[in-house]
């Protein structure tokens, strides 16, 4: 019940007749008594008896928002009470009834009839507005002073002649007013509440009374109006509050009804007031009671002891106490249900306790969980500890066993950190780490960590702790579960030692291979380099034959060395593919050309077939793919004496825009016995391992090829018949490129030059498109957002190939960026592609004035939207092949030093390799200064500037890495080009050289073509 603190007498009911709330003064005490007994108004003592029902039916049938009636009520003393009842309809299908006593009109005193002047004074000074109307046409004949004030006019002349209906609010129905007039003209009086409009277009509510007055001379309608605007506003406020109460009560009823708990309340006579269906169902099932409002909660057939206990509970609540009890109740199936019942006193508006409400929850699952936890806690083999800020307040027997403690009291009250073996320098226990893990557990819900603890006898042991925060009696505590991990730690230590041993062995193997590679390549560089020099001299046939033997032997030794290193890299997982654009047709052509002369010597024909489905360009590792195909085709030529060899390429579509490429090598060679096919791909295995074998080789080629195919997400399959030939199929998973890769870009990547593309584009879609394009062209991509980032990356990186950008970045425009880059590095050369908005196609020159004529910058401009084909053409212009056919024809006799004059320093500690390099560079027309180590190189740089430095890595006194660091730090204006020329050819050596600040890398043994192409790419713009 929610009483309203208003001076109104009211009753709020639902359309269905349900009593919601009410308030009555002493004048209507009997109405209040009826409602306290839940007796609806239709059963009150009205006369006639059905008066209220008739009023309700009128409301519902005509769907009125407001209605007024007068009813007569006979009280207990037999006295008749006239009651005016106003009904207001709310939006929630509720009715608010306002009750007011209706007073009878008093008889007119004789003094009033005798004194005309008195009547005039009373008429003019009445607190109510008084109007006299012509009964014939409803026009206003006369008014008093109050009427002028009500209707905001200054003089009666302003409305004399107007009819009364014009004073009513526009919403008042004309038909209803005509009915009122007919009633009045019959001689009956009429009273009602009406809304009026003033002459200033304001509104007010009036209680209006009509009565017709007649004399010998006149017949008029007397209208009296009392301003009741405040009363109406109060009623509206009351209606709004009543609606809120109704909504609140409906929500409360829904909550009560839908609750899983049993909810009920009783009055001071222990009679049920309200209850939900859950309570009614349980009372029926457990006690066979059909309950209803007013049901006596203590029945005679109930166990007296049970009644006594429940009465004690209710009486405690009647005394003002709020409390909860745990108990049980039976079910129809004789299953015990555990319950928690809470009792609350109910107070009225004066604070008097009038009843008790009770809420009973089924806590059976909770009880079972608690029992399971207790059993787990008590009988678990792992220690379980409960503690709070005061220390441990409970632990299970396993805790005593682990700590080797005989009495729980030695543990209780201590914080778990008490048992930690970690102490501060002063010997006190470390507590801060415990607080840290408790904070983590509170945040995550639980936390597992490791510690070292001490038993009561002082023995230390490793332990894994799982910490979980719990709430017990509205207080946060922690459950710590301990698990001793001594055995696990011993196992982990043994694993770590085994891992360290294996890693040490692997490192020793890698170090040995690196050392052997270096030590073999160093003299091999002298052998192959000397052969290269001798080939350019005049030799007779016998000398040339001996030279070919040396050359072939050196190359075979280099192939074997590279195969051993490749196998080692693959098995250690260090070999990584370098994905770049590849032309399958060109790659196959190059491989066939390698073996063409050998095949012709044996009278063999090599035929190539490429399916029309094979794209012009794919993404793969060109070096490794070429390595596999050389091995497969080389074996076919080696083991085929007559007939022909067919090398074909086919393509199959694959999900997710992928492509499966299949390379087949078919020959008419000696074939392979079926029982020996499994041996083909085993390292260092030969099918014929006898001392009289006809074909040589290390047996590594196919092993490496198969492993490389697996790295390419493919495989090698072999089919063979002895005497009829073999077919080796290589399948790889790749992506198709829809555009041509410029030859200049391919040359650029082949020597590891200018590998980085810097992108600074605002539009995310275009940025992703350009990023993918650059990656497919073999560039490593760096995405930058601001001009400052652009300047930093371009000036710090050594291998920037291209810069793709918008005109304006957030903090700077392109001309300003290029100015900053030129200031930071005056010798830098950079290719730039500028993307302009299409709106500036005809006015771009206004925005780019002075941009294109900048030394060292090659700038191309494109308008959005960007077409990849157009972008590819710009890449072709940006990276042309370094030597065109016309240049080649015109400059055939020119030495490289004449086309690209350079001052060169060679830093090499091996005298033989130093001589070889100087002679090879001399063949290109260059005179070279030399240094035996890094210290001599730095001394030479102080006296002489060099354009190009060839740098060995392993040298006494100062190696190549340290030397490069000093050069980059102290000789920066301009920076010399540094090319690594080293026998360090293991996986990662090239990257290590580039990271150290070198511009390019050549592995020993060196060839004159390697030196020549590096110089062209590094110095020819």
Confidence band for 694, pLDDT divided at 50, 70 and 90: very low
Residue-averaged pLDDT of the chain: 83
pLDDT greater than 80 at residue 61: no
Q: Which residues pair with 449 in a beta bridge?
A: 465
Nearest to 648 by CA among 693, 697, 690, 613: 613
Confidence band for 903, pLDDT divided at 50, 70 and 90: very high
Distance CA 80, CA 85 (A): 16
Residue 389, CA distances (Å) to 434, 438, 440, 477, 478 in order: 11, 11, 16, 8, 9
pLDDT tens digit sequence for 333-361: 777 888 999 999 999 878 899 999 999 99
Q: According to the model, what pLDDT value does residue 930 have? A: 92
pLDDT tens digit sequence for 513-538: 667 666 676 776 667 777 777 777 88
**Can you point out the beta strands (E) in 198-236?**
203-214, 219-227
Q: Are 759 and 804 in contact (CB under 8 A)?
A: yes
pLDDT tens digit sequence for 208-229: 999 888 877 778 899 999 999 9
End-to-end CA distance of the chain: 95
> Where does residue 988 fall: left (phi above 0), alpha (psi -120 to 50 degrees), or beta otherwise?
left
Distance CA 260, CA 548 (A): 98
Tally of CA atoms within 13 A in the half-sphere of 359 that contains its CB: 12
Q: Are 87 and 97 in contact (CB under 8 A)?
A: yes
Region 873-892: what's the mean pLDDT? 60
> Where does residue 631 fall: left (phi above 0), alpha (psi -120 to 50 degrees), or beta otherwise?
alpha
Q: According to the model, what pLDDT value does residue 1009 have? A: 83
Q: Of 672-681, 698-707, 725-734, where does the model show the most confidence? A: 725-734
Region 763-789: what's the mean pLDDT? 87
Within 10 Å of residue 669's Cβ, how many Cβ atoms?
Answer: 22
Region 175-193: what's the mean pLDDT? 87
The position carrying tokens 């040396």 is 550
The position carrying tokens 């006690």 is 287
Q: Are 521 and 983 in contact (CB under 8 A)?
A: yes
Region 260-270: what's the mean pLDDT? 92
Distance CA 271, CA 265 (A): 8
> Sign of the CA dihedral 786, 789, 793, 794?
positive
Which tokens hold the place of 688?
């014929």
| Least confident among 653-667, 710-724, 839-853 | 839-853
**DSSP character for 171?**
T
Distance CA 655, CA 811 (A): 43
Region 582-598: what's the mean pLDDT? 86
Q: According to the model, what pLDDT value does residue 889 have? A: 45
Dihedral, CA of residue 939, residue 945, residue 950 and residue 956, to nearest 10: 0
3-state class (DSSP) for residue 834: strand
Confidence band for 952, pLDDT divided at 50, 70 and 90: very high
Q: Are 36 and 15 in contact (CB under 8 A)?
A: no
Distance CA 543, CA 530 (A): 14
Distance CA 679, CA 684 (A): 10
pLDDT tens digit sequence for 421-465: 876 555 555 666 788 899 999 999 999 999 899 999 889 999 999
Q: According to the model, what pLDDT value does residue 204 have? A: 93
Within 10 Å of residue 716's Cβ, how many Cβ atoms?
Answer: 22
pLDDT greater than 60 at residue 114: no
**Can you point out the beta strands (E) in 655-769?**
658-666, 715-721, 725-737, 756-760
Higher pLDDT, 975 or 215: 975
Q: According to the model, what pLDDT value does residue 884 have? A: 44
H helical segments located in 602-700: 622-638
Which tokens hold the place of 653?
């579509």
Q: According to the model, what pLDDT value does residue 323 have? A: 94
Dihedrals φ, ψ of 771, to 5°? -60, -50
H or E segment and range at residue 273: strand 272-275
Nearest to 641 by CA among 663, 671, 664, 665: 671
Distance CA 706, CA 711 (A): 9
Dihedrals φ, ψ of 985, to 5°? -125, 20
DSSP secondary structure of 99-152: EEEPPPPPPPPHHHHH-HHHHHHHHHH-SSEEEEE-TTT-BEEEE-HHHHHHTT
At residue 756's C-alpha, the angle toward residues 750 and 761, to 5°, is 140
Q: According to the model, what pLDDT value does residue 745 have? A: 66
Distance CA 268, CA 749 (A): 97
Distance CA 983, CA 529 (A): 13
Which positions ≥6 away from 541 have C-beta within 8 Å?
none
Q: Are 24 and 8 in contact (CB under 8 A)?
A: no
Higher pLDDT, 63 or 145: 145
Beta strand 203-214 with 219-227 is antiparallel
Confidence band for 695, pLDDT divided at 50, 70 and 90: very low
3-state class (DSSP) for residue 232: helix
Q: Are 637 and 749 in contact (CB under 8 A)?
A: no
Chain-centre distance of CA 715, in angstroms? 39
Nearest to 567 by CA among 431, 454, 703, 444: 703
Q: According to the model, what pLDDT value does residue 94 have? A: 78
Q: Are 51 and 60 in contact (CB under 8 A)?
A: no
Tally of CA atoms within 13 A in the half-sphere of 123 that contains its CB: 15
Q: According to the model, what pLDDT value does residue 64 have? A: 67
pLDDT tens digit sequence for 288-345: 888 898 899 898 888 888 889 999 999 999 999 999 999 888 776 777 888 999 999 9
Which tokens hold the place of 28?
């209507």
Distance CA 640, CA 622 (A): 27
Q: What is the C-alpha R_g of the chain? A: 53
Give the strands of the sheet with 219-227, arranged side by side: 140-143, 129-133, 219-227, 203-214, 190-197
Distance CA 483, CA 399 (A): 10
pLDDT tens digit sequence for 387-408: 998 899 989 899 999 999 989 8
H helical segments located in 405-485: 432-444
Q: According to the model, what pLDDT value does residue 412 have? A: 92
pTM recorded for the entire structure: 0.43
pLDDT tens digit sequence for 90-109: 766 778 888 888 765 555 55
Which positions ≥6 away from 420 have C-beta within 8 Å?
429, 430, 434, 451, 452, 453, 454
Q: According to the model, what pLDDT value does residue 502 have? A: 77
Region 230-234: what's the mean pLDDT? 86
Q: Residue by residue, what is the 3-state secondary structure of 847-873?
A: HCCCCCCCCCEEEEEEECCCCHHHHHH
Region 585-594: what's the mean pLDDT? 87
pLDDT greater than 80 at residue 754: no
The position carrying tokens 């694993």 is 495
Region 120-134: what's the mean pLDDT? 81
């Amino acid at each position: 019940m929610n009483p309203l603190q208003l001076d109104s007498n009211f009753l709020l009911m639902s359309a269905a007749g349900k009593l919601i709330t009410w308030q009555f003064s002493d004048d209507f005490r009997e109405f209040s008594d009826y409602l306290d007994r839940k007796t609806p108004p239709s059963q009150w003592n009205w006369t006639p008896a059905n008066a209220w029902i008739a009023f309700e039916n009128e409301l519902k049938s005509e769907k009125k928002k407001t209605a007024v009636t007068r009813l007569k009520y006979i009280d207990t003393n037999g006295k008749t009470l006239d009651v005016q009842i106003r009904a207001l309809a709310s939006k929630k299908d509720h009715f608010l009834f306002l009750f007011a006593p209706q007073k009878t009109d008093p008889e007119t005193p004789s003094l009033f009839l005798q004194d005309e002047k008195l009547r005039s004074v009373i008429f003019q000074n009445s607190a109510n507005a008084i109007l006299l109307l012509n009964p014939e046409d409803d026009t206003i004949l006369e008014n008093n002073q109050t009427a002028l004030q009500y209707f905001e006019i200054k003089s009666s002349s302003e409305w004399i002649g107007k009819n009364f209906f014009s004073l009513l609010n526009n919403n008042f129905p004309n038909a209803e007013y005509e009915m009122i007039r007919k009633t009045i003209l019959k001689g009956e009086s009429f009273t009602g509440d009406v809304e009026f409009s003033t002459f200033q277009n304001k509104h007010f509510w009036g209680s209006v009374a009509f009565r017709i007055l007649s004399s010998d001379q006149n017949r008029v309608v007397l209208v009296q109006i009392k301003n009741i605007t405040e009363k109406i506003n109060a009623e509206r406020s009351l209606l709004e509050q009543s609606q809120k109460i109704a909504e609140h009560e409906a929500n409360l009823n829904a909550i009560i009804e839908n609750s899983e708990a049993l909810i009920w309340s009783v009055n001071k006579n222990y009679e049920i007031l309200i209850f939900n269906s859950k309570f009614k169902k349980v009372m029926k099932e457990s006690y066979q009671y059909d309950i209803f409002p007013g049901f006596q909660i203590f029945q005679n057939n109930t166990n007296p002891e049970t009644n006594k206990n429940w009465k004690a509970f209710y009486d405690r609540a009647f005394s003002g106490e709020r409390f909860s009890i745990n108990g049980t109740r039976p079910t129809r199936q004789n299953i015990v249900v555990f319950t928690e019942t809470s009792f609350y006193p109910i107070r009225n508006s004066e604070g008097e306790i009038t009843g008790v409400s009770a809420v009973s929850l089924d806590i059976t699952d909770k009880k079972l969980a608690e029992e399971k936890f207790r059993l787990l806690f008590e009988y678990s083999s792992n220690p379980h500890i409960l503690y709070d800020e005061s220390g441990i307040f409970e632990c299970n027997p396993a805790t005593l066993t682990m700590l080797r403690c005989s009495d729980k009291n030695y543990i209780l009250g201590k914080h778990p950190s008490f048992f930690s073996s970690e102490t501060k320098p002063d010997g006190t226990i470390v507590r801060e780490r415990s607080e840290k893990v408790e904070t983590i557990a509170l945040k995550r819900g639980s936390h597992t960590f490791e510690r070292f603890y001490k038993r009561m006898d002082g023995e230390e042991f490793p332990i894994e702790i799982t910490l979980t925060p719990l709430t017990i009696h509205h207080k946060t505590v922690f459950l710590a579960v301990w698990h001793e991990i001594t055995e696990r730690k011993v196992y982990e230590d043994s694993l770590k030692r085994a891992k360290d041993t294996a890693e040490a062995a692997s490192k020793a193997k890698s170090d040995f291979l690196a050392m052997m590679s270096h030590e073999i390549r160093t003299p091999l560089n002298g052998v192959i380099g000397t052969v290269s020099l001798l080939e350019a001299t005049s030799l007779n046939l016998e000398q040339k034959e001996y030279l070919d033997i040396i050359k072939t032997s050196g190359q075979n030794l280099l192939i074997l060395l590279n195969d051993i290193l490749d196998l080692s890299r693959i098995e250690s997982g260090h070999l990584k593919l370098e994905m770049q654009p590849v032309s399958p047709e060109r790659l196959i052509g190059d491989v066939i050309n390698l073996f063409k002369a050998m095949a012709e010597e044996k009278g063999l024909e090599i035929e190539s077939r490429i399916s029309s489905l094979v794209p012009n360009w794919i993404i793969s590792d060109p070096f490794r793919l070429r390595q596999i195909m050389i091995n497969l085709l080389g074996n076919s030529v080696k083991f085929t004496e007559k007939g022909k060899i067919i090398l074909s390429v086919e393509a199959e579509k694959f999900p997710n825009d992928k492509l499966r490429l299949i390379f087949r090598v078919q020959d008419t060679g000696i074939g392979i016995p079926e029982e020996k096919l499994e041996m083909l791909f085993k390292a260092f295995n030969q099918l014929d391992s006898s001392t009289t074998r006809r074909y040589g080789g290390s047996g590594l080629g196919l092993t490496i090829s198969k492993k490389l195919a697996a790295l390419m997400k493919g495989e090698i399959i072999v089919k063979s018949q002895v005497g009829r030939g073999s077919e080796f199929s290589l399948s790889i998973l790749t992506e198709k490129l829809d555009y041509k890769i410029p030859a200049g870009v391919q040359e650029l990547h082949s020597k590891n030059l200018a590998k980085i593309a810097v992108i600074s584009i605002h539009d995310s879609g275009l940025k992703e498109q350009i990023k993918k394009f650059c990656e497919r062209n073999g560039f490593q991509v760096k995405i930058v957002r601001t001009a400052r980032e652009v300047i930093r990356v371009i000036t710090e990186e050594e291998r920037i190939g291209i810069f793709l950008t918008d005109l304006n970045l957030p903090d700077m425009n392109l001309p300003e960026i290029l100015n900053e880059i030129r200031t930071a590095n005056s010798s830098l050369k950079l290719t730039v592609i500028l993307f302009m908005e299409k709106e500036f196609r005809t006015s771009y020159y206004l925005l780019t004035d002075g941009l294109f004529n900048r030394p060292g910058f090659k700038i191309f401009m494109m308008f959005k939207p960007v077409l990849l084909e157009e972008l590819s053409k710009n890449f072709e212009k940006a990276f042309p092949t370094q030597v065109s056919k016309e240049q080649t024809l015109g400059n055939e006799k020119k030495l490289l030093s004449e086309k690209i004059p350079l001052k060169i320093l060679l830093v090499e500690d091996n005298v033989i390799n130093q001589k070889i390099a100087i002679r090879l560079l001399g063949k290109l027309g260059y005179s070279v200064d030399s240094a035996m180590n890094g210290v001599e190189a730095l001394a030479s740089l102080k006296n002489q500037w060099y354009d190009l430095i060839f740098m060995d890595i392993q040298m006494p006194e100062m190696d190549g890495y340290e030397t490069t660091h000093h050069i980059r730090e102290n000789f920066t204006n301009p920076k010399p080009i540094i090319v690594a020329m080293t026998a360090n050819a293991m996986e990662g050596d090239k990257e290590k050289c580039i990271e150290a600040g070198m511009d390019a890398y050549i592995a020993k043994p060196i060839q004159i073509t390697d030196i020549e192409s590096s110089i062209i790419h590094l110095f020819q713009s």
